[in-house]
Amino acid sequence: MRSGLDFAVNSEPILRFAFWSGFGAMALTLLLIVWIVALRVIYRRSERRKRKFLSIWRGLLTESALTHLDTRRLPAIAGKDVVFFLSYWNHLQDSLRGEARGRLNFLVRSIGIDRAVRRMLREGNPAEKLLAIVSLGHLGEKADTEALEGLLVSEHPIACLHAARALLHIDPGTLGELMPTIVQRSDLPITAIANVLKEAGSNTVSPILAGMLRQAFLQGATPQHLVRLIALTVVAHPSVVHASLREIMDQTEDTEVLAACLKAMRDPCDLPRVRQLIGHPDWRVRVHAAAALGDMGEEKDLESLIRLLSDSQWWVRYRAAQAISRLPFVTAGGLEGIKKHLDDHFAIDMLNQVISERRS
Amino acid sequence: MIQRFIEVGEWVFLLYFIGLNCGYLALNFLSLISLSKLMRIRMVDELPQVYSGLTPPISLLVPAYNEQASIASSVHSMLQLSYQEFEIVVINDGSKDDTLKVLEREFALIPFPEAYRQRLKTQPVRGIYRSTLYNNLRVIDKENGGKADSLNAGINTARYPLFCGVDADSILQRDSLQRMAQPFLEDTRVVAAGGSIRIANGCQVSNGFLQKVDLPKKILPLLQIVEYLRAFLFGRMGWSPLNAMLIISGAFGLFKKEAVIEAGGYRTGTIGEDMELVVRIHRLYRRAKKPYRIVFVPDPICWTEAPEDLATLKNQRIRWQRGLLESLSLNLGLLCHYRGGAAGWLAFPFMLLFEALGPIIELAGYLFMFALFLSGMISSQALWVFLFVAIGFGILLSVSSLLLEEITFHIYPRPRHLLLLLLIVLLENFGYRQINSWWRFIGIVRWLRGGQAKWGDMKRSGAWQQPR
C-alpha cells in the first residue's frame, strides 16, 4: 500500500498523470455504478408503489365515473401518489364522455386533489406542470383560465399546446382569442394545432378560421402563414371556409398558396376556378387541380384530364389518371376505351397502372 | 535521444486515449441533457391523442437479398404497424434464393404495370408486383446492384413524401413510424431522422413483434448490447442537438424523399451507404447554406439480430469500418469547411480522429507499450498504469451508457439484467474491445486496398423468432 502511494506521488510526471487519470476514471465509474443501482432501486420502488396504488384506485376511479362515491370512505392519497392518480384520472377523462367526466371531477374536488394540481402548476417540475395543465383542462374551472393563458406564450411549445387544449376544454368560446396566438407561433407544428382544433369541433373552428383567413390575406400575410392557415381547413366545415378560400384563390399569384387552396377545395361550384388552373405553368398547382377535378369534375373535364396524362411531371400524370378513374361516369370499360385512343406511351403506362390499382 | 522518443510516444498515446474518452464523455453529458428533457414530457405524451389527419404518409423501403427465411414475417409485422397512411415497397435485389417466390406465395402478388419513373439511376427493374391481399404492399424485382441501388429503386417508386429504409430482418415497434415522424411534424427543416436500434437476441418475438425483452444467453450478443447502448444513447444522441449526427443506421431511418433525390440518392458501390448519404446531406446543405436538421429519436423502436459467431461479427465490423472510411473520404469537403458548422468542425474531425483512425492509434499504443516493456525500456509499473488508464476509461464509458439507459427507457427490467450488464461492461474491456480494434484495423487495410462492395453475408440464427 505504501509503495503504491509512493508510486502515485514520486514517479515520473507521465506515470503520475496516467495513474491519477485512471484513478479518476475508476472513481467516477464506481460513482456511476452506485448511481445506476440507486436509480434501479428507486425505479422499482416507484413501480411497486404505482402498482399497489393503482390496484386500489383503478377500480375506485372507474366506479366513480359511473356513480358518485362516498368520498369519506375512500383511502387517503399520499403526496407521492398524486402523480399516479392524475395520470390514470386523465387517461379516463380522455377516454370517457358526458356525465362520467363530471363525476370524475366531483371526485377530485371532494378529496382535495384539485388543490394539489394547482400547486403542481406553480411549483412542480416540468413533467408535473404538464400533467397539471392537462388536469386543469379536464377539471374545467374558469378560475384557472388566467394561469393557463399565461402559458400560451410559454417558451415550451408543448406546454403552450396543452394549455390551449386545456383552455378549450374549460371554455370552447375562448377559441377566437387563443387561435391567433397559437397559429402565429411558428414553433408549433401545424399538425399539433390541427389536433387541438379538431377537439374544439368544426362548428366552433370554422367561422373563426374563415375570418382569420380573410384577415390574413387582406393584411398581406406571408405565403407561409397563409399555407399554414389553409392547412387547418382540414378540421373546418368546407361550406364556411370556402368563401375565404375563393377570395384568396381569385387574387393570389403565389403557387404554394394556390396549391394549398386547391387541395382544400371540393365544392362543385368552384369548378370554373379549378378548370382555369388545370394548365398552370407550375406543376404543383396542376397536380392539385387534377386531383380536385377527380372529386368534382364533369364529363366535359375528361378531355382536360386526358391531356394531363401526357404532362411532363409524373405526379401530374398519376393524379390525372387517378382523377379519371374516380369520375363517377367513367367505368372500367370506359378506362380501357380511353387507353385505346392514347398514343403517348407515358399516358398509356400511367393509365395501365391506375387501372391495375383500381382492380385491387 | 531514444529516451526522449519514448517519453514523447508515451505522452502522445496517453493524451490520445484520454482525449478520446473525454470526447465521448462530453457527448455523454450532452445526451444526458437531451434525454432528461425528453423524459420530462413522456408522461403527458402517453395520454390518448387526437389525430387531425395531417400526418405525412410514409413509404417503407425494404431491400432484400437472399432473405427467404425472414422476409415474410418481416413484411407481415410491418403491415401491422400503427400509422395513418403508409405503403411497403420490398425491393428484391436479384436474390439467388426464393425471396421473390416466398413473397409471391405469402402475399398473393400479381404483376403490376407501374409507370416506373427513374429519378435515380439503378440496375434494370425486371418487374413490379402488387399484393392482392394488401393494397399498400408492392414488390420490385430488379437486377442485383447492392443495397444502395435497391434503396434508390425503392425511392423511384415511393409514392409518399417521407421514406423509411428498413432492413428486412428488423423488428419494429408498433408505434415506430409515429415516433419517427414526430420530428418532421415539429420542425419543417428536418430532412432525416435516425432511430435507436436494439439487439433482439434473447428477446421473445412473435408474429413479427417483440413480446418480451430478455438478455441473450451467448456472450457475443451480450457484449454487443453494451456496444449498441454506447453507440446510440450517446454516440448519436450527443450529436443530435448540435445538428451534427453523421450516422443514421440503415436498419431504420426516415428521410424526406425530395431531399435525398436532390442529394443524388444513395451512392452505389459503397459499403456504408447509410452513413455516406447522411454525411453528403450535411455537406451539400451546409455548402448551400440551406436550413436543415438531422435528428435522432432515442426511443427503442427497432430491434435487430446481432451476430452470434466471431466470423460474422468480424465481417460486420470490417464492413462498418470500411463504410466509415468511405463515407468520410467521399465527403472530405465537409471537414473544417467554413460553413461546416458543428458537423464539419466537431463531428467530422472527431469521427476521423477517433473512429476512423482510432484503431491504428489504439493498436500502435498497445504495441508500443508492450514492445517497450519487453525490451526493458519501461517498467512493469508503467505498463500496468497504461493499461489501467486505457481500460479504466473504457469501463467508465460503458457504465455511463448504462446510466443513460437507466435514466430513460429501462428496457431490461429485471435486477439480474442489470447485474449481468454491469458484469459485461467490465468484461468487454478485457479482450473484446481490443479484438474489435484489430478487426477495424483490418477494415482500414482493406479500405486502403480497395475492392468491390457487396451485401454483407450475415449468418442469422433467428432463434428468438417464433413462427407465425
CATH code: domain of residue A346: 1.25.10
**In Å, what is the CA distance from A360 to each residue of B75, B122, B131, B133, B153?**
19, 28, 8, 8, 23
Q: Is B321 a residue whose pLDDT tops 80?
A: yes
Contact map slice: B 411-440 vs A, CB within 8 A: 415, 418, 422
- Tell me the shortest Cα–Cα distance from B117 to chain A, in angstroms: 7
pLDDT for B467 equals 44
For residue A300, being part of any structural domain is answered with: yes
From the candidates B35, B226, B406, which should be mutated to test the interface with A, based on the most A CB atoms within 10 A? B406
From the candidates A3, A6, A11, A21, which should be mutated to test the interface with B, based on the most B CB atoms within 10 A? A21
From the candidates A5, A29, A43, A96, which should be mutated to test the interface with B, based on the most B CB atoms within 10 A? A29
Domains along the sequence of chain B with CATH: 2-21+352-449 (no CATH), 56-343 (3.90.550.10)
pLDDT band (50, 70, 90) for residue B459: low
Nearest to B403 among A19, A32, A192 (CB): A32
Q: Is B51 a residue whose pLDDT tops 80?
A: no
Q: Give A-chain residues touching B83 at CB under 8 angstroms.
A: none
pLDDT band (50, 70, 90) for residue B50: low
Q: Which amino acid is at B205?
A: V
Domain end residue (candidates: A171, A206, A224): A171
pLDDT for A13 equals 81
For residue A269, being part of any structural domain is answered with: no
Torsion sign, CA atoms A343, A345, A346, A349: positive
Domain end residue (candidates: A146, A171, A196): A171
For residue A122, being part of any structural domain is answered with: yes
For residue A8, being part of any structural domain is answered with: no
Average pLDDT, chain B: 88
Q: Does B402 touch chain A (CB under 8 A)?
A: yes
Q: Check A353 against B112: CB less than 8 A apart.
A: yes
Q: What is d(CA B191, CA B184) in angstroms, rounded to the nearest whole number?
A: 8
What b/e string do you get for A5-41 counting C-beta neighbours within 10 Å, with b at 16 or more? eebeeebeebbebbbebbeebbebbeebbeebeebbe
Q: Check B52 against A131: CB less than 8 A apart.
A: no
Mean pLDDT, residues A110-125: 92
Q: Does B448 touch chain A (CB under 8 A)?
A: no
- Tell me the shortest Cα–Cα distance from A21 to chain B, in angstroms: 7
Q: What is d(CA A140, CA B161) in angstroms, rounded to the nearest whole number?
A: 40
Residue A300 CB coordination number (10 Å): 9
What b/e string do you get for A132-143 counting C-beta neighbours within 10 Å, with b at 16 or more? bbbbbbbbeeee
Domain end residue (candidates: A114, A140, A171): A171
For residue A67, being part of any structural domain is answered with: no
Q: Does A29 touch chain B (CB under 8 A)?
A: yes
- Tell me the shortest Cα–Cα distance from B145 to chain A, in angstroms: 25
pLDDT for B422 equals 94
DSSP summary character for residue B305: P
Domain of residue A345, residue span: 278-360
For residue A93, being part of any structural domain is answered with: yes
pLDDT band (50, 70, 90) for residue A2: very low
Q: Which residue has the cell 465481417?
A: B315
Nearest to A356 among B40, B112, B385 (CB): B112
Query: Among B226, B251, B238, B281, which Cα is nearest to B398's?
Result: B226
Least confident range from A294-298, B110-114, B300-304, B335-339: namely B300-304
Q: Check B47 against A94: CB less than 8 A apart.
A: yes
- Tell me the shortest Cα–Cα distance from A15 to chain B, in angstroms: 6
Domain count for chain A: 2
Q: Is A354 a residue whose pLDDT tops 60?
A: yes
Q: Check B381 against A25: CB less than 8 A apart.
A: no
- Tell me the shortest Cα–Cα distance from A205 to chain B, in angstroms: 13
- Tell me the shortest Cα–Cα distance from B322 to chain A, in angstroms: 31
Q: What is the pLDDT of residues B116-174, one digit of tens each?
A: 888 999 999 999 999 999 999 999 999 999 999 999 999 999 999 999 999 887 888 88
Contacts of residue B171, defined as CB under 8 A and 6 or more positions apart, other chains included, come to: B74, B77, B200, B205, B208, B209, B210, B302, B303, B304
A299 alpha carbon, distance to own chain's centre: 39
Give strand pairing partners of B205. Answer: B210, B465
ipTM of the modeled complex:
0.85
Q: Give B-chain residues touching A222 at CB under 8 angstroms.
A: none
Q: Is A100 a residue whose pLDDT tops 60?
A: yes
Q: Which residue has the cell 455523454?
A: B28
Q: What is the pLDDT of residues A156-199, one digit of tens each?
A: 888 898 999 999 999 988 998 899 999 888 888 888 899 889 88
pTM strictly above 0.80: yes
Q: Check B186 against A157: CB less than 8 A apart.
A: yes
Q: Give A-chain residues touching B388 at CB under 8 angstroms.
A: 18-19, 22, 26
**Joined grid coordinates for residue B197:** 436500434
Pairing mode, strands B137-142 and B125-131:
antiparallel
Q: Does A41 touch chain B (CB under 8 A)?
A: no
Q: Is A280 a residue whose pLDDT tops 90?
A: yes
Contact map slice: B 221-280 vs A, CB within 8 A: none
Q: Give A-chain residues touching B395 at CB under 8 angstroms.
A: 25-26, 29
pLDDT band (50, 70, 90) for residue A1: very low
Q: What is the pLDDT of residues B111-122, one digit of tens each?
A: 999 888 889 999
Q: Does B127 touch chain A (CB under 8 A)?
A: no
Pairing mode, strands B58-64 and B86-93:
parallel
